[in-house]
Structure 1
Amino acid sequence: MTKFSTGEGDDVEHVGDSYFLESGDKIRFFFEEDALSPTGELLKPKHLSINKIGHALHSLSPPFAALLSPNATHSPSLIAQSLGFKKPQCLQSMIICKNPEIGGAVPPHQDSTFLYTDPPSAVGFWYALEDATRENGCLSFWPGSHKWEKVGKRFVRRKDGGGTEFVENEGEVFPRGLEKKEKEGEEKEGSYVMGEVKAGDLVLIHGNLLHKSERNTSGKGRIIYTFHVIEGENVYDERNWLQPPEGGFTRL
């Protein structure tokens, strides 16, 4: 059984086995860190122990694939075009469970760290399937951080083929159009703001935006569905943990 870890640093062990690395064109289940005992036994019922399900729901599960259809009442394609995408591609999708009393915290991060293009272009489409509140681990955002926080690191496959690691980003650190907005010594005042939303709401997350979520210690779930879109005209690196399936990523 495979559990999913979040966080960053030399003391943090990330999922890097084949079950995770080969999940880009499959639907696979990942357990919460606290769901398993030291001997690998489940500590809670299976359906309450799942951290996330991914990463090809958008191409393999008909209900989720229909969401990307250009004939859908709700059109991610039109949204992406309104954001300036010329060739929007969906590269991954997930259900994130945040189950009651066990849903783990997610530390501050930028989505482009994990889904890097050169220049950065990732945008997350985040759909609340249940109300997300401060009690059950709603998202928190640092307003405006997408304008000054560089994509300084990347989450990639190790060159020796042994799992994953964080490395310094040697490519572009801001999306096209934001390069000249970086200012030396620009003030970075402020703090994280909780973003409570209702079931059915859509949250769009810029790839450079710092965001996080707290542990769900409540008795209520916080299930969401999310997929990420990148600019197909940008360079997608061969070291990214997620690699294109045969036929390429899904065009919106």
Structure 2
Amino acid sequence: MKDVVNQLENDGFVVLEDFLKPEEIDELRGAGEEFTTNLPPEKDRKIFNTVDQQQSKDRYFIDSANKICYFFESEALEDNGSLKVHPRVSLNKVGHALHWLHPVFKKYTFSEKVKEIAFQLELIEPAVCQSMYIYKNPGIGSEVVTHQDASYLYTDPVKLIGFWIALEDATRDNGCLWIASSSHKSGVHRRYVRNRDPLAEELLVYDRPAAYYQESSFRPIEVRKGTCILLHGQVVHFSKDNKSDRSRHAYTFHIVETHHVNYSRNNWLQPPKEGFPLLYTN
């Protein structure tokens, strides 16, 4: 485990192969696919797209922090909310409180494996702040633009770790992660915050223009299903759109240190009144 700690400090990410067993993958996949059989009514269907940032104007997105909410691919919906595609391949993601409100995702998020990693990383009072089931469907799975997770879930100091678990093989063809090694050492470049202007149309805004990253700085992280990629909150990464005929399902969640660490009140995602659920006590 010492190698994991050192690698996270040096590279900003760690690849943990065989993190989940085949039957565990199947259970998470089954739970994720269940969401596609009980979609919200047409009038309540919302698109998620990191390129156009349509969610910046959407109260539904802000209110999803402590709920289970559905977000669709832009190419999956007509203007009236009816589907252009089969329901099974219509969703972009479901989030952001799966870890607490859904028994299957809660079981794996608060597993002994996860707790052991947090312990080895010397996190004293880690809490789970958000979770998502990501579909990356064949043909219409949209890209996720270059970003740092700390831009959205900022803490002072930055004590944020992402767990990105592949539930299917992730390759260049179907939209694997691309990561710039050691990019976490350059600080937080941009923050996505709640708009202080009550009259503005945009509910969420970036506090500064996007930083420019050379594509040559990134390398594809192709992994087999069951692999967990640990992501430092400041490491820069992205994923391309999925134009292949194979989906790339993943389950991801983030933990933040709460001991002597301030979680920003300006973050789009805010904890419930009782606070984020602590990892070690659940």
Regarding TM over 0.5, the answer is yes
Number of positions where the alignment pairs a residue of Structure 1 with one of Structure 2 = 227
Paired residue type of 1:126: W
Cα pair 1:139 1:213 within 8 Å, conserved: yes
Q: Which residue of 1 aligns with 2:123?
A: 85
Match of 2:203 in 1: 163
The residue number in structure 2 matching 1:243 is: 270
Shift of 1:189: 10
Quote the residue 1:49 is aligned against. 90
Distance in 2 (CA, whole Å) between partners of 1:116 and 1:35 is: 31
CA distance in 2, matches of 1:30, 1:23: 10
- Counterpart Cα distance in 1 of 2:156 and 2:71: 29
Which residue of 219, 227, 235 maps to 2:245? 219
What SS class does the counterpart of residue 254 from structure 2 fall into? strand
CA contact (8 A) 1:77 1:88 kept: no
Residues 5 and 15 in structure 1, CA contact (< 8 A), matched pair in contact too = no
User: Equivalents in 2 of 1:229, 1:29: separation in Å?
Assistant: 22
Residues 47, 54 of structure 2: 8 Å contact kept: no
2:26 is matched with which residue? none
Residue type matched to 1:216 in 2? N
In the TM superposition, 1:144-183 aligns within 5 A as: 144-148=182-186, 150-161=187-198, 162-168=202-208
5+ long unaligned stretches in structure 1: 170-187
Distance 1:168 1:29 in 2: 29
Which residue of 2 is the match for residue 31 of structure 1? 72
The amino acid across from 2:278 in the alignment is R
AA at the equivalent of 2:108: L
Deviation at 1:207, TM superposition (A): 0.7
Partner of 2:37: none
1:226 is matched by which residue type in structure 2?
T
**What whole-Å deviation, never above 9, does each CA across 1:47-95 have from its counterpart, x for those lacking one?**
21100000001001111111233xx4x4212201211211111000000
TM-score, normalised by the number of residues in structure 2:
0.76
Q: Which has the higher helix share?
A: 2
Question: Residue 228 of structure 1 aligns with which residue?
Answer: 254
Taking only aligned residues, the RMSD between alpha carbons, in angstroms, comes to: 1.9
Q: Is the 8 A contact 1:54 1:95 kept in 2?
A: yes
- SS of match in other structure, 2:104: helix
Report the residue type matching 1:35 in the other structure.
A
Q: Partner residue of 1:183?
A: none
Q: Aligned-pair distance for 1:12?
A: 4.9
Does the C-alpha gap of structure 1 residues 157 and 219 become closer, same or farther in structure 2, counting only changes over 3 Å? same
Q: How far apart in 1 are the matches of 2:242 and 2:142?
A: 7
Give the residue type in structure 1 aligned to 2:193: V
Q: Which amino acid aligns with 2:241?
A: R
Q: Which residue in 2 is equivalent to 1:5?
A: 49
* Counterpart for residue 124 of structure 1: 162
1:134 maps to: 172
Partner deviation per Cα, 1:114-139 (whole Å, 9 max, x = no partner): 00011111110011011101110000
Fraction of identical pairs, as percent: 44
Stretches of 4+ moved more than 6 A in 1?
Answer: none
The Cα of 1:101 is off from its aligned counterpart by 0.4
Match of 1:98 among 127, 131, 136: 136
Deviating more after overlay: 24-33 vs 156-165: 156-165
How far does residue 39 in structure 1 lie from its aligned partner after superposition?
A: 4.4
